Structure 1
């Protein structure tokens, strides 16, 4: 992760290591809010940590490390070679347990940030400099904690206990992820309906209907494929139950979305939101049944496409798709400006409020004119800083469990 520090130019080093309230990733972007740029920097940190965790699972990494001089002595914690050089067993820095250690360090960092940011109301708080600056120190801190995590004994205690923390945190992030997806679908539908009402263009209406039908088409296709490939007439009862149960829930959500009481409360809501949620629900159902250890009820995506037997590779199709959706949700939560849709999702604590310009209009105009990051939180914070870090800690646990297939830790 130290390579990320190379992104900072020489002119930005002062802001990188100081308490300046500007974030480097958006320094060249016009009218970039401070609240947005800071969240992008934290998202970048999380994405870099995920890449490092993925590298730990690379099939050829262990073979490469075996050629490194100080990585000889496999099977021992440390040995001395013929020329009295200290060598280590590098098998411990690859595999599932290595992913646990990297994500453990990231999770601790975000939880620490969540604790020290409790109660921050404006960027005038002395802790605002820690939130929006000191990026070089933050990355060095994460690197140091990550290195220290690899000195945790390799016994079963750390892996098994941290796995349960990961399962709970990953499940909680799935709920947050669903909130973000609902908010995205509502904003999408609201924007297109508003364009249709303002322009009276049938093109927007046709696009809205087409997108809804396309989502429902993918949902129905997914359900059919799940019944065909992940259930059998004389078995796989658990798979049948979950597929049928989630299908019923999708139908219920679709009916509720068009009820008169719902339409009266939210006139611009409709079937598009329920279609997106239904498609995401079917994806989660596939992800669950695809992780079943029963080979008779789980052919695997590779087997469906190529006809080969399901492999036990580190990067399976479920993990890749899960990471893609996770990445989109993390970036969305970092860029999103909340609108009235947050009233139905309860996501005010997650998404940024559109606070507009801060109190110092002249200063903001000057900053915007030069295309620099400007502080929009002098009067009030645009989002809950503490909750934001809690969400990213849960996101770290989710990616940890996704990479390790949820039920394995060795």
Structure 2
């Protein structure tokens, strides 16, 4: 439900950036700059220009972010689902959605003044924090995937698992190499575009270094399951970040867009759909996997006895307590394993969604150079994305080197 709320906020923000919307609003009678009928007195008209463009995105995301911040503050100190505030976390959806809608409407009455400049600073800080959390979890995903498959191969000695490991690694590296070649073809030219050439070349060198570090004897000694599969996944993600950065390069070094500045051309729509899917996944992954950052070892759901405070629900949605006392073994059972301790930090959950909202806002409005165009060359956005790629490689190399540098610490 929280993810659906974030998706609806994102869709609403995108609608306000729709090309031609501002011109269409001028035909509405109650708009101050309307070219239509003059039946409505001027004193009753409103400035509809504030309802579209990047300022509208700022206001929409401002209300949504405040909602998640409010929820984070309310959930501070919740230790288990027995807390009275658990009902607020898991229910009252109608009130929550009305609260967000009311907040969005109220945000449009905020005087423009310094609102955009001030909120942009918060957006940049929050958006960058979300990128850092996302990078940590992508690296964690690479390690978890490789360790899982390697352990299964070691346990079974199955050629199938060995082939799967090899195929996954080769696929990721092949896609990375192919992508790098395509970046040279479509984002550089023989003379000029030196910055684009530098970005592609330096990231190629960095992923080669990271791959070499992953198989060093000193690293293998402390992390026997470290290998090229993790490096291939990280390399593929770095390639994506590099491509995303170069997409904001100047028109003369971008032979795909061809200098087309239309907001919703085909490439922009495809890129936006891919971004929406990845953003939603990373939001859910980040929030539900907060144990990776908060060092909690709880899981979200498990089978077995409900224990003290366990909740059991039958298929027909009956009272959980009655279903538990009925003892019917054929009923679908769901246990509340948070009766003793929450499976993840509820406060951190909402903080992540607040940061995700800011990330949405900054991505849609081109970061430091706010604009109502979705597809537009932007040096600030380019540098933020390319810096993220370097940070990703740095974090990955640190996860490899840290156990060797500090052998007395437990990094498990």
Q: Shared fold by TM > 0.5?
A: yes
Q: Which has the higher contact order (CA 8 A, sep 6+)?
A: 1
1:213 aligns with: 170
1:297 aligns with: 253
1:384 aligns with: 345
* Cα distance in 1 between the residues matched to 2:29 and 2:34: 15
Report the alpha carbon displacement of residue 228 of structure 1 after superposing the two structures with TM.
2.9
Report the alpha carbon displacement of residue 212 of structure 1 after superposing the two structures with TM.
0.9
Confirm or deny: 8 A CA contact 1:227 1:243 kept in the other structure: yes
1:73 aligns with: 32
* Cα distance in 2 between the residues matched to 1:359 and 1:95: 54
SS in structure 1 at match of 2:229: helix
Q: Any gaps of 5 or more consecutive residues in structure 2?
A: 315-329, 372-412
1:112 aligns with: 70
Of 105, 112, 137, the match for 2:95: 137
Indicate yes or no: 2:236 matched with 1:279.
yes
Query: Are residues 61 and 377 of structure 1, via their aligned partners in 2, closer, same or farther at CA, if it must alter by over 3 Å?
Result: same
Q: Deviation string for 1:38-90 (max 9, x for gaps)?
A: xxx222211121111122222253455445443x33279xx994254833232
2:395 aligns with: none
1:7 aligns with: none
Deviates more, 1:310-319 or 1:282-291: 310-319
Confirm or deny: 8 A CA contact 1:114 1:390 kept in the other structure: yes
2:313 aligns with: 367
Of 5, 9, 12, the match for 1:52: 12
Confirm or deny: 8 A CA contact 1:73 1:88 kept in the other structure: yes
Query: Are residues 243 and 83 of structure 1, via their aligned partners in 2, closer, same or farther at CA, if it must alter by over 3 Å?
Result: closer
Confirm or deny: 8 A CA contact 1:256 1:262 kept in the other structure: yes
Indicate yes or no: 2:193 matched with 1:243.
no
Superposed counterparts of 1:389-404, under 5 Å = 389-404=350-365
Of 211, 218, 228, the match for 2:185: 228
Report the alpha carbon displacement of residue 140 of structure 1 after superposing the two structures with TM.
1.2
SS in structure 1 at match of 2:19: coil
* Cα distance in 2 between the residues matched to 1:314 and 1:100: 19
* Cα distance in 2 between the residues matched to 1:393 and 1:245: 33
Confirm or deny: 8 A CA contact 2:311 2:335 kept in the other structure: no
Superposed counterparts of 1:6-405, under 5 Å = 41-70=1-30, 72-74=31-33, 81-84=38-41, 86-155=44-113, 157-292=114-249, 294-299=250-255, 301-303=256-258, 309-314=259-264, 316=268, 318-333=271-286, 342=292, 346=293, 348=295, 353=299, 356=302, 360-361=306-307, 364=310, 366-367=312-313, 370-371=331-332, 374-405=335-366
* Cα distance in 1 between the residues matched to 2:150 and 2:182: 33
SS in structure 1 at match of 2:150: helix
SS in structure 2 at match of 1:178: helix
Query: Are residues 161 and 236 of structure 1, via their aligned partners in 2, closer, same or farther at CA, if it must alter by over 3 Å?
Result: farther
Deviates more, 1:374-383 or 1:263-272: 263-272
2:407 aligns with: none
SS in structure 2 at match of 1:366: coil
Confirm or deny: 8 A CA contact 2:172 2:236 kept in the other structure: yes
SS in structure 2 at match of 1:252: helix
Confirm or deny: 8 A CA contact 1:337 1:354 kept in the other structure: no
- Give the paired residue count: 352
Confirm or deny: 8 A CA contact 1:322 1:402 kept in the other structure: no
* Cα distance in 2 between the residues matched to 1:335 and 1:154: 36
Task: Report the TM-score when normalising by structure 2.
Answer: 0.75
Q: Deviation string for 1:282-323 (max 9, x for gaps)?
A: 21122122213x222233x333xxxxx422315726544333
Q: Deviation string for 1:349-379 (max 9, x for gaps)?
A: 7x96457469843864733765476422111
Q: Deviation string for 1:264-283 (max 9, x for gaps)?
A: 44433322221111111121
* Cα distance in 2 between the residues matched to 1:362 and 1:91: 57
Report the alpha carbon displacement of residue 335 of structure 1 after superposing the two structures with TM.
5.7
Q: Deviation string for 1:130-150 (max 9, x for gaps)?
A: 222222211111111111111
* Cα distance in 2 between the residues matched to 1:388 and 1:160: 27
